[in-house]
Amino acid sequence: MKMPRPRILIPYALAAAAVALFFWTRHPLQSSKFPPAQDFNLLETAVQHIRNDYVDEADPVRTMEGAYEGIISSLDPMSAYLNAGLMAKASAPRIDRLYDAGLAAYKRPGVFPVVVGVQEGSPAEKAGIKPGDSVTAVDDRSTLVWSHNELRFALKDKDPKPVKLRLIQNGTTLEKTIDRVPPYASPAAWAAEKGTSGIVRFSHLFSGAAAAFKTSILPKLAGAKAPLILDLRGCREGDTGEAGAVINLFLKNPRAGTFEKKGGQKSFLDCPADPVLPDVPLIVWTDPGTMGPAEIVAAVLRDLKRAKVVGTVTAGLTAEQKLIPLKTGDGLLLTVGEFVLASGTRIFGKGVTPDIKIESEKTTRQDYLEKSKGFYPGF
């Protein structure tokens, strides 16, 4: 009887060899921190034995991609090896316009991604996907050795075609085929709320989010004195530059934070303009789906004493990244700068700690409102 192919173990068996094949053949190494040439020769020999003697025939492209994935994703949760298909998505001029299933998942190295948020009214919600579900495969490809961003781009597409997911929900394995739809109707929306200046929900922080606030929301806040709530729950995507533009709506600071890079180099998060709402009290809401640029907004406003934060500790995906195309059509998404607050606090990999924490079972709007009361007089 033919033995079943251990699809997950093959990439791990080749992962060490992938270091040689990936870095040695494409980018020769000079650093003494990497193994000497003879060690690479031994690893190449191991690859030859796997190719010639392994019990089953492995797809060389998919297994080597799995090895690259394991190597790059071991650097940090955000760095990623992207095959040609994912590289095309990551290079899209407007990522916010790619079709999406409407779920936010967080991926740590060595474990399956966990759903941390589901967009209201999305195909994912309609399919019964819930926070806490594990995503074990996307279009029949295991997610175990993927990075956070590899999963993120795999869930998207330039066309509205469905995506096939394998999940573990309450101990049961499920397979669901889910539609992709345009994910964002608007970057920001305002809703009235008694005792406040309203609730502004940011769905993303791509280019245009701050401009949308000024155009459609700012006129509603003329003469506002009561606290304004910035709802960043589920705000999982965007650009660090736009995070600075949103912060700049409420404060001015040429060094609101720092991206610390290799060799001691630094670049600053600059909020240079006079703010449009310098005095309105702010409360920021976070949850496990608050990621990346949205975390930077919450952290800076809190760090500079401009806002109070209510919610959960966030993922800590606060970094500057560089997309590096390779000659073969694939590419790398590498973390090149770690975000540090003006106070010196590092939140990359640690997340934003709220002033008031929300219990995991209390996540409704009313729960957040109840926890937010007491920060400011009259609310």
Residue 167 belongs to a domain with what CATH number? 2.30.42.10
Last residue of a domain, one of 129, 156, 178: 178
Distance CA 109, CA 112 (A): 8
pTM score, whole prediction: 0.85
Distance CA 378, CA 14 (A): 62
pLDDT confidence of residue 75: 84
Residues 211 and 300 in one domain: yes
Residues 215 and 315 in one domain: yes
The pair of structure tokens assigned to 199 is 């609730």
Residues 288 and 366 in one domain: yes
pLDDT confidence of residue 16: 41
**Does the residue 82 lie in any domain?**
no
The pair of structure tokens assigned to 176 is 């669901």
Number of domains the chain contains: 3
pLDDT confidence of residue 21: 45
Residues 349 and 279 in one domain: yes
Q: Which of 78-92, 241-255, 289-303, 361-375 has the lowest mean pLDDT?
A: 361-375
Cα torsion 223, 226, 227, 230: sign: negative
Cα-atom radius of gyration of the chain, to the nearest Å?
Answer: 22
Q: Tokens 């930077």, residue?
A: 296
Last residue of a domain, one of 125, 144, 178: 178
- Of 328 and 197, which is predicted with more confidence? 197
**Does the residue 57 lie in any domain?**
yes
DSSP output for 185-223:
S-SEEEE--TTSS-EEEES-BSTTHHHHIIIIIGGGGTT
**Does the residue 23 lie in any domain?**
yes
pLDDT band at 185 (very low <50, low <70, confident <90, very high): confident
**Does the residue 86 lie in any domain?**
no
Residues 21 and 135 in one domain: no
Q: Which of 301, 297, 311, 291 has the alpha carbon at shortest distance from 353?
A: 311
Residues 127 and 58 in one domain: no
Residues 39 and 107 in one domain: no
Computed over every residue of the chain, the mean pLDDT equals 86
**Does the residue 159 lie in any domain?**
yes
Last residue of a domain, one of 178, 205, 236: 178
Question: What digits encode the pLDDT tens for the residues 217-248?
Answer: 999 999 999 999 999 999 999 999 999 999 99
Distance CA 85, CA 154 (A): 9
Residues 129 and 257 in one domain: no
- Residue 256's SS3 state is strand
Residues 19 and 105 in one domain: no
pLDDT confidence of residue 47: 66
Distance CA 379, CA 377 (A): 6
pLDDT confidence of residue 35: 53
Residues 220 and 367 in one domain: yes
Contact by Cβ (8 Å): 156, 100: yes
- CA angle at residue 39 from 36 to 45, to 5 degrees? 150
Residues 267 and 315 in one domain: yes
Contact by Cβ (8 Å): 321, 335: yes
The pair of structure tokens assigned to 188 is 């920001």
pLDDT band at 56 (very low <50, low <70, confident <90, very high): low
Q: Which domain holds residue 69?
A: 9-74
pLDDT band at 3 (very low <50, low <70, confident <90, very high): very low
pLDDT confidence of residue 25: 43
**228: which strand partners?**
282
Question: What digits encode the pLDDT tens for the residues 60-92?
Answer: 555 566 667 667 767 888 999 999 999 999 999
Question: What digits encode the pLDDT tens for the residues 152-170?
Answer: 999 999 999 999 999 999 9
Distance CA 256, CA 278 (A): 15
- Rounded to an integer, the average pLDDT of 191-203 is 96
Q: Which of 234, 291, 326, 250 has the alpha carbon at shortest distance from 107?
A: 291
Cα torsion 364, 370, 373, 378: sign: positive
- Residue 294's SS3 state is helix
**Does the residue 3 lie in any domain?**
no
